[in-house]
Structure 1
Amino acid sequence: MTETQAPTPLRIKLDARDNVAIVANSGGLPAGTVFDDGLTLVDAVPQGHKVALEDIAAGGSVIRYGEVIGIAVKALPKGSWITEFLVDLPAAPALADLPLATRPAPDLPPIEGYTFQGYRNADGSVGTRNILAISESVQCVAGVVDHVVAIIKAELLPKYPNVDDVVGLGHAYGCGVAINAPAAIIPIRSLQNLTLNPNFGGEVLVIGLGCEKLQPERLLPGKTADAAAGDILSLQDEKFVGFQAMVAGILEMAEERLKRLNERRRETCPASDLVVGVQCGGSDAFSGVTANPAIGFASDLIVRAGGTVMFSEVTEVRDAVHLMTPRAVNAEVGRAILREMAWYDRYLAEGETDRSANPSPGNKKGGLANVVEKALGSIAKSGKSPIAAVLSPGERATTKGMIFAATPASDFVCGTQQLASGMTLQVFSTGRGTPYGLAAAPVIKVATRTDLAKRWHDLMDLDAGRIATGEATIEEVGWELFRLILEVASGRKPWSDQWGLHNALTIFNPAPIT
């Protein structure tokens, strides 16, 4: 018998100014572990959690990413495990007097020749999928839409092989709400812009009840009353005698649209037609080390190819906003970033809470002490490209390049809002693991740790954990992700689509419910 050799202790320090590092070894390291430079662990430290690289005095700064992520609540000796309970949340960056558009654009030359097979629409946009969407003007009709979607999937879709799917655009809005409240514009324009998503090919069918506050024609912006009427079915229409008559009416209108969608074919489109959303969920301390930087590199490649990338999650940008405003292409865009931060600060204050409600218990178990540390890792998804535009929640993207689309950090709310903003494919990083997916757009999931990628081998699409172990560089994984994006945009199914794992849409509604 031979003794089991102890693993080489590994830690990751991200910036020369850092006084903490995270333990990289699978399963963590026991107390007494000695690193090559003599650092000795005072405590057992789980994988992804922080260890003090020097003595930190009570009230001293805890520094990671070269930024202060917290204040030590007591003296933290060198080699000790720094848990979230030992670090107080520092004040958020003040929004006044932040530098706006002061950082020169990095030297990221254009790249050419990259294409994907997409569905070009009459308005010039390009979808990655060919989907029939059935929207609801009010949640009252959700059961009917679900019933009809099931029939279409079973009986009609097999007749139209060039149509990828049929999805119901369900939500909890439309009536029993303060329809004219100022904040109501957010859910209303979100629902309007969802119908315009390029993956639906302009063939959206709207099902209404008839008495709702949000009248169905409002969900078809840009159409005349007569044109809108041709895309709307109201269940209270007196011509329907019984439920089966309603179902038959919807199926007839749906089949008309399926016939037109079935005539569409994928065609070669430049990468400049991509509109990709990036998001993270079930994050851990490796998110800002492996997956998010690789996503950021791939995001820069899309921007260099002339495409569009949107990053979001206001509370996971707020504490790093001082690093974002200098990247704005001009002062107006910088002020727009601050506008969205200030709006969300007020929104949280009205709910008698603040940014400390983020992160989740799972994030903390994965090594993230607080929202400051989480934000500094989250913004890595945005790469280095200049920020070209800012969208308020539910607004549609009209500018190419790197865009900040303001949304809550909630996975399913962020995904829904990015769809409303025109996203046709999403890249989602996770360290703790999640089966999250969207029916309206493919979702590529990137694991921050190789342990997760192996354990969830049929849920994770890409392993970025190889960066932590030195098996691959950020650039190598970034290029791999970029090529995977092109493949998925061309029709390849990521794992969530292969299994049919799709979260319900969740519209952001900060307005009153009556």
Structure 2
Amino acid sequence: MDTVRLDPSDNVVTATRALEAGVAVDATQTTGLIPSGHKIATQDIATGTAIRKYAQIIGYAAQDIAAGSHVHTHNVEFRNTDADYEFSTDLRHVTPVTEDQRDTFMGYRRTDGQVGTRNYIAIVTSVNCSATAANRIAAHFTPEVLAEYPNVDGVVAFVHGTGCGMAGDGDGFEALQRVMWGYARHPNHAGVLMVGLGCEMNQIDWLLEAYGLKQGPTFQVMNIQSVAGLRRTVEKGIEKINAMLPIANQATRVPCPASALKVALQCGGSDAWSGITANPALGYACDLLTAQGGTGVLAETPEIYGAEHLLTRRAVDQATGDKLIGLITWWEDYTARNRGSMDNNPSPGNKAGGLTTILEKSLGAAAKGGTSPLMGVYKYAEAVTARGFTFMDSPGYDPASVTGQIAGGCTLVCFTTGRGSAFGSKPSPTIKVATNTAMATLMDEDMDINAGTILTEGTSVEDKGREIYEMFLRVASGAQSKSEAQGLGDYEFVPWQIGAVM
């Protein structure tokens, strides 16, 4: 087939390959070259008329568009959403799997009741000024040094570019503290060393007091100024982690229920197939996970813009739906006061892949959340406590978004991509799902699953979704994802910076 129609009410179809002029499409024919993944008008569309895909509005005709014409950024305009929100009108019943029938994986049971999929020791910095110390401490623990501790996955430094020159309260400060707390108590960490400078705005002592964190054999803190300099800090940090390693190495994998899994749902480097192949398949995997009692965490608030009305219909109650709308309102104000637009995304690569407006991208991105009820809406990096399908506020920038999801407790990340994304994460490994076969073949060393077979081989979304879900269990049990095997994740820790830098 040359094109895909997603709903009978749509006035565009998507080309499955590059089409020359004169190719028959529905009751018309193409008027010019149509790139693969791009849209074709199936009827005359007058100026100002809504462009419909997924049975939803993705933009408006900026000029008269003749049937058979290429429909893209040159003739489509974006308008802010103006939805009439409904609440809890699309609550589909999910039949839970009984506890005795639940799937299992081999995970790490922690003393606080959490379950991890990896066993790292983390070095968490409070400020950019302690980044060099943290990196030098981590660099000491080479594979040769760690060979004595086979149950430890590694020693990782989580460094960032903020922590000072910021307000001592408000959204930005609170978000950074939540990130630090989330990584300090993450179930994929067997031990944590926090390293600060001493005079920064983001004080470690404030974090300990605010979250009730107590020092012990596997949780230590220190400041460069108190230790008396960089060299001594590095030496002392190595000493502290050397003391943690034998304790961390005592952890072993044991059978754990799939209900203990918390999976971050991500997409990046998207194309027109993201919302047709990989994202719906990941959504089906999310539904399988939630039926097991597990948790899926969707994020990237700007990338559900224009699809949020579909999520409010799935909200378990109006209070949950109102939280989501509140996030949308905040983002509209945030972009406006910074003289931006909610349509700043799609990126150039997304547009080359056939995505025209943020509304089109969002409708495809929201499919990662499946069909289960929306059980909770969370601030950036807030601990996700609800079971089932949930949403976390975050920017669309993948490293910052995933950092928040991991801080919220996600122990796996599943990342769909159509253009090809060289992304990985620690301490929670990333599984990457390709939206199209051509890219999956080209980047076969980076892609774990090819969802492009939904188009090229007729694989069902359900079968591909089950393949993704089963990979959740394998990777959670210790199998390396391709990004993990290549060592990605050391530079993808990027806390979201909100507010003025002073």
Give TM-score, length-normalised by structure 1: 0.93
Query: 1:291 offset after TM fit, Å?
Result: 0.2
Please state if 1:16 is matched with 2:3.
no
- What is the CA–CA distance in structure 1 between the aligned matches of 2:77 and 2:171, rounded to whole Å? 36
Extract structure 1 runs of 4+ deviating beyond 4 A: 224-230
Secondary structure of residue in 1 paired with 2:263: strand
Three-state SS of the structure 1 residue aligned to 2:36 is coil
Which residue of the other structure, out of 51, 60, 76, is the alignment partner of 1:71? Answer: 60
Indicate the residue corresponding to 1:327 in structure 2.
314
CA pair 396-372 structure 1, distance change in 2 beyond 3 A = same
Q: Are the equivalent residues in 1 in contact too, given 2:91–2:315 (CA < 8 A)?
A: no
8 Å contact kept, 1:23–1:51:
yes
Q: Partner letter of residue 446 of structure 1? A: V
Q: 1:53 to 1:467 in 2, by over 3 A?
A: same
Report the counterpart of residue 33 of structure 1 in structure 2. Answer: 23
> Per the alignment, do residues 382 and 55 of structure 1 end up closer, same or farther by CA in structure 2, a change over 3 Å counting?
same
Q: Cα gap change, 1:346/1:184 in structure 2, threshold over 3 Å: closer, same or farther?
A: farther
| Stretch of structure 1 that moved more, 478-487 or 333-342 | 333-342
Bigger mean CA offset, 165-174 vs 267-276: 165-174
Secondary structure at 1:428 match in 2: strand
Contact 2:296 2:388 in 1 (8 A): yes
Moved more, 99-108 or 371-380: 99-108
Q: Distance in 2 between matches of 1:101 and 1:51?
A: 35
Local SS of the residue matching 2:309? helix
- Structure-1 separation of matches of 2:251 and 2:214: 27
Counterpart AA for 1:33: V
1:88 to 77, 93, 99: 77
Unmatched 5+ stretches in structure 2:
none
**Alpha-carbon distance in 1 for matches of 2:219, 2:107:** 27
**How far is the alpha carbon of 1:501 from its aligned partner?**
2.2
Deviation at 1:90, TM superposition (A): 2.7
The letter for the 2-side match of 1:91 is N
- Indicate whether 1:195 and 2:184 are aligned: yes
Q: Does 1:246 align with 2:204?
A: no
Counterpart CA distance in 2 for 1:447 and 1:272 is: 26
For residues 267 and 76 of structure 1, the distance between their equivalents in structure 2, rounded to whole angstroms, comes to: 60
Unaligned residue ranges in structure 1 (runs of 5+)? 1-8
* Amino acid paired to 1:194: Y
Q: Are the aligned partners of 1:137 and 1:219 in contact in 2 as well (CA < 8 Å)?
A: no
Structure 1 stretch displaced more, 292-301 or 328-337: 328-337
AA at the equivalent of 1:72: A
* 2:468 matched residue in structure 1: 481
| Residue matched to 1:58 | 47
Equivalent residue for 1:457?
444
Counterpart of 1:207 in structure 2 is 195
* Residues in 2 aligned to 1:438 and 1:224: alpha-carbon distance in whole angstroms: 25
CA RMSD of aligned residues (A): 1.8
Q: For residues 76-119 of structure 1, what are the alpha-carbon distances to aligned partners after superposition, in whole Å with 9 as ceiling and x for unaligned?
A: 1111111212111133134xx52122223235453633111111
Aligned to 2:455: 468
Counterpart selection for 2:278 from 291, 309, 313: 291
1:5 alignment counterpart:
none
Distance in 2 of aligned mates of 1:189 and 1:132: 19
Identity %: 37
Counterpart residue type for residue 10 of structure 1: D
Query: What are the within-5 Å matches in structure 2 for residues 274-353 of structure 1?
Result: 274-353=261-340
Q: Quick check: 1:134–1:207 contact (8 Å CA) kept in 2?
A: yes
Matched, 1:512 2:492: no
Query: Does the 8 Å contact 1:217/1:229 carry over to 2?
Result: no
- For residue 137 of structure 1, report the CA deviation from its aligned partner: 1.4
Alpha-carbon spacing, 1:480–1:154, altered in 2? closer, same or farther (3 Å): closer
SS in 2 for 1:487: helix
Q: Which residue of 2 aligns with 1:440?
A: 427
Q: Which of 347, 366, 371 lines up with 2:353 in the alignment?
A: 366
Distance 2:241 2:306 in 1: 46
In structure 2, distance between residues paired with 1:443 and 1:182: 28
Equivalent residue, structure 2, for 1:495: 482
Structure 2 residue identity aligned to 1:30: E
Superposition map of 1:351-430 within 5 A: 351-430=338-417
**Once the two structures are superposed, what CA deviation does each residue of 1:263-299 show, in whole Å capped at 9, x if it has no partner?**
0001100100000001100001100000000000000
Q: How far off its partner does 1:155 sit?
A: 5.1
After superposition, what is the alpha-carbon deviation per residue over 1:460-500, rounded to whole angstroms, capped at 9, x for unaligned?
Answer: 00000111234200001000111011001111111111111
Contact 2:424–2:484 (Cα < 8 Å) also in 1 = yes
Q: May I ask how many residue pairs the two structures share in their alignment?
A: 498
Q: Deviations over 1:395-430 (max 9, x none)?
A: 111111111011111011111111111111000000
Q: Which moved more, 1:227-236 or 1:37-46?
A: 227-236
Distance in 1, matches of 2:106 and 2:213, equals 32
How far apart are 1:224 and its partner, in Å? 5.7
Cα distance change, pair 447–60 in 1 and its aligned pair in 2 (3 A): same
Residue identity opposite 1:70 in structure 2: G
Q: Is the 8 A contact 1:134 1:169 kept in 2?
A: yes
The one-letter amino acid paired with 1:252 is E
Spell out, residue by residue over 1:130-152, the C-alpha distance to the aligned partner (whole angstroms, 9 max, x if none).
01000111110101111111111
TM-score with structure 2 length normalisation? 0.95
- C-alpha distance in 1, partners of 2:470/2:430? 14
- Check if 1:147 corresponds to 2:139: no
